[in-house]
Amino acid sequence: MTLNRDHAATTDYEAVAKNVEAFRLAQIAADPKALGALCADDLSYSHSSGFLEDKAAFIANATDGKTEFLSITYKDPTIKIVGPAAIVRFHWLAEMMTGGQKVANSLHILMNWLKQGDDWKLLSRSATKL
């Protein structure tokens, strides 16, 4: 039985890691379909400014073309599986074009992923300025 739990934990860890990377790539691509598939319907997305978005607002704002990500790096990620939840933390480093200017961004990110059926969905995200 312990072997099955370890295997399940490894499988969940790998699934979350895969979705975290897919989320990063979807942000760079500003892909509304991919972002929608990765986010839970009850998403709570909190920016470092304190601005909060639900799923629809996050996807609309992330794909409106006002910001173009040149690069996003998730540095030193950690993933901890806790039952049907996963706590993901990393240092976000990004370069983007916004308002015609190149801007660099450095944040600490906390993501909470929830297992829904066989899929892991982003339930909440919070950013802190560094």
Which H or E run includes 64? none
Q: Report the predicted TM-score, pTM, of the whole model to 2 decimal places.
A: 0.91
Q: How large is the average pLDDT for residues 7-27?
A: 92
Domains and CATH numbers, the chain: 2-129 (3.10.450.50)
Q: How large is the average pLDDT for residues 26-33?
A: 98
Q: Mind listing the pLDDT tens digit for each residue in 69-108? A: 999 999 999 999 999 999 999 999 999 999 899 999 999 9
Residue 58: closest CA among 77, 45, 40: 45
Q: What is the DSSP letter of 54?
A: -
- DSSP letters along 8-23, please? HHHHHHHHHHHHHHHH
What confidence tier does 54 reach under pLDDT thresholds 50, 70, 90?
A: very high
